[in-house]
Amino acid sequence: MADKIDFPVQLVQPDGRRVHRPDYATLVSDVGPAELRDLYEDMVVARRIDTEATALQRQGQLGIWAPLLGQEAAQVGSVRALNPDDYIFTSYREHAVAYCRGVDPAVMTRMWRGCAYSGWDPAAVNMTNPAIVVGSQGLHATGYALGVHLDGAEIATLVYFGDGATSQGDMSEALGFAMSFNAPVVFFCQNNQWAISEPVHLQSPSPIARRAAGFGMPAVQVDGNDVLAVLAVTRQAARHVREGAGPSFVEAITYRMGPHTTADDPTRYRTAAENEVWLARDPIDRMRRLLVREGLFDDAFAQRVADRADDVGSRLRAGALEAADPGPDELFEHVYATAHPLIDEERAAYRAYLDNLTAGEEALS
């Protein structure tokens, strides 16, 4: 029933013990020892991407960064549930999704450094670049999902957004349109408890998943710090939309352990006690405890993961520091898909302005 929201799905407790949920465990029954280790490695590498980029921003090498610290399981579990031809629309915090989708770490920071309009070619990885306008990606995803459905493609489209975005009109329009036209889109809400400095209970006194139910859309809440549970519910949601059953909604309950962006100071609105509660639910620690319990964690594996994280971190740092500043003409590229006389005119005027400016400086010298 669309109006029925169960308790959040959980398959692994914070101490690493399995939870008996056969209805969802069957959805990840193919996840064996190797796959469990891979999920852990993905999360560790994602955290390293985040800490490296945050350090680069603090060192003045990036203009800003939106950390994902604490949300690794929500992102890794969901993206690993998708097929290569499924399409992803992101907000601005899905760095783990980008990594798992195959985006080169060397290009992940280009937009945040201010030397490019975007970081990667969306068509190469079936994933959009970060969407800065909060909630706008919901409409983009819904339109895309409907379009590919009309073209006959049997794929899932998944859109990421935060709890704060659910208060935006764009998201309500997207949910309503998706239901009206049976668009095959999975709405994936990372409820990280804070929309910048606004707590989620202030903007939504009832579970966010109930907003989807209000549109008649099936919705599920999941422990967003449990990578296995996220993998299971996202697989279920993606299968639902691929089979033509209409859109689906997932609310992953997680926590933003760091600031909203590097321009934010969360100590002004959050308590240390709250942080401690969620620190005990750290998604990476949880997965490591599961691996230890099942005899899958040893020194050799830990070193392999650390080496991988170091390599990715180094590539990200080198890519940021080596990124070239764009030339003036690049301001006019990609405004239109094809040549446009107005852009040609503005480009010529800007070139003339720069030439005159250079000539004036040379005259003064």
> Among all residues, which ones are annotated catalytic?
256, 260, 269
Under a CB-based contact definition with an 8 Å cutoff, are residues 286 and 14 in contact? yes
| Closest to 45 measured CA to CA, from 103, 130, 116 | 103
Q: Which residues pair with 157 in a beta bridge?
A: 87, 185
The tokens for 337 are 């898909």
Q: Tell the residue number behind the tokens 């009109």, with chain if given.
A: 169
Q: Which residues pair with 50 in a beta bridge?
A: none
Helices 72-79 and 227-242: crossing angle in degrees, nearest 10, is: 40
The tokens for 85 are 């031809």
Please list, in sequence order, all residues whose beta carbon lies within 8 angstroms of the beta carbon of residue 52, skipping any fewer than 6 positions away.
Answer: 313, 316, 317
